[in-house]
Amino acid sequence: MTTKHVPKSFQKMMDLVAETFPEHEKLQKMFGQCFLNTYMTTLTETKEGLPFVITGDIPAMWLRDSTSQIRPYLMVAEDDPEMAAIIAGLVKQQMRFIQLDPYANAFNQEANGKGFQADKTEMSPHVWERKYEIDSLCYPIQLGYLLWKSTDDTAHFDADFRQGVAAILDVWKTEQYHETQSPYSFERADVRQSDTLNRDGKGTEVAYTGMTWSGFRPSDDACLYGYLVPSNMFAVVALGYLQEINANCWQDATLATQITTLKVEIERGIQAFAVQEHPYHGPMYAYEVDGTGRKNFMDDANVPSLLAAPYLGYGEFTDPKYLATRDFILSRENPFYVEGAELTGIGSPHTPDHYVWPIALSVQGMTATSVSEKRAILEMLVATDGGTGFMHEGVNASNHHEYTREWFAWSNAMFSEFVLSLCGVCVKGSPLAKMTK
């Protein structure tokens, strides 16, 4: 697997952007850099010859980031067997990692003991970090499903995939009863509160809701309340994908019942506990709840987010509860909504105050239903790259030359997907493809 040349299928996408935006040379250049970023600089191999995708400036593979980084290449894989094989190999590697430890969020390329081995949890040499996040288990299912839709190939739904799915279902069912059944705890010494869990590593106390518990957000920050709503939404979507995969590939009646039961229970929990009455926006989704009445009205830049719900496949882009939630998210009522001289959008407690995340701007663009909003966001992103031609993690809303992370492969990929959607090209089988028809 080489990462040193530009495949013809990639050049085709760059040519498409140039044809769609002939007057916008900076956009053309930025798209080329961002679209190639993962393939040229973060994609390596394990000793077994399977793909290993680092985040960029950290030599470990996150299940979430690796999926998001490779996702735009699904549009290439439709006509590029080599890229399709790389993505299938990544799915296999992800599912093997999940079998090693379904509670881990990031893994080492080999069992070398690197990473946060001093954390008070059940670490192993292959695990870089063991912050349990629901979305880490959703993303590989999503990637496998969308690869099938992009290529019509189901060979990657093999024994590794099925065993990974079994581990995922077991964890999600266990974590519906976090207080009484969960074996998981996590503590990290001498760090800010968002990098560890309170209550001896068990996190804030929760009551049963039907939803499944998460220790951490997709930012890798600790949850304030254990039922992270956007991640439970993503789990419902992933379980729907598994229903379809099982019906078409495995025809396992027992598995079908397990998947359907869990999906129904989580969805009921979302509607019963996560839909809350906001004093200004009416019925909308809270970001986190605990099952006892406590709720957290906010949204974070990282995906899954409430803003990204229809992009991920939960609900419709025009659903009233989503639109009310979106209005809240893009207002000063959201504590992480930022307005600056150069950028306006969603930030995160993971980065400094007054910083907007390009990832959230790309999501806002892809969930917008008006062309004017999409184009305004595109121009904002292109104008605030800090002179690098890349996307960053967070950017000072009043000075785009101040940012976190010189380049951030996940953000580059999200920007690439947003730009391609404006060219009328989307991942087959994705909600975005259905919206742009």
- Domains of the chain: which residue ranges? 335-437
Is residue 287 within 8 Å of residue 297, measured between CB atoms? yes
pLDDT at 1 (0 to 100): 41
- Six-digit token pair at 190? 């001498």
Beta-bridge mates of residue 43: 53
| Average pLDDT in the chain | 96
Of residues 278, 274, 181, 199, the one with CA closest to residue 235: 274
Alpha-carbon distance 77 to 75, whole Å? 6
pLDDT digits (tens, 9 = 90+) for 176-226: 999 999 999 999 999 999 999 999 999 999 999 999 999 999 999 999 999
Q: Taking CA 263 as the corner, what is the angle to CA 225 and CA 329, rounded to the nearest 5 degrees?
A: 45
| Overall pTM surpassing 0.95 (yes/no) | yes
Angle at 396 between CA 312 and CA 401, to 5 degrees: 115
Burial 311-322 (b: 16+ CB within 10 A, else e): bbbbbebeeebb
pLDDT for the residue numbered 58: 87
| Per-residue pLDDT band at 406 (split at 50, 70, 90) | confident
Pick from 412, 413, 396, 416: nearest CA to 404: 396
pLDDT in tens, 291-335: 999 999 999 999 999 999 999 999 999 999 999 999 999 999 999
pLDDT-based confidence at residue 4 (cuts at 50, 70, 90): low
Residue 127 makes CB contacts below 8 A (sequence gap 6+) with: 100, 101, 104, 106, 107, 108, 115
Residue 295: both structure tokens together: 């709720």
Backbone angles phi, psi at 409, to 5 degrees: -60, -40
Across residues 382-398, what is the average pLDDT? Answer: 96
3-state secondary structure of 235: helix
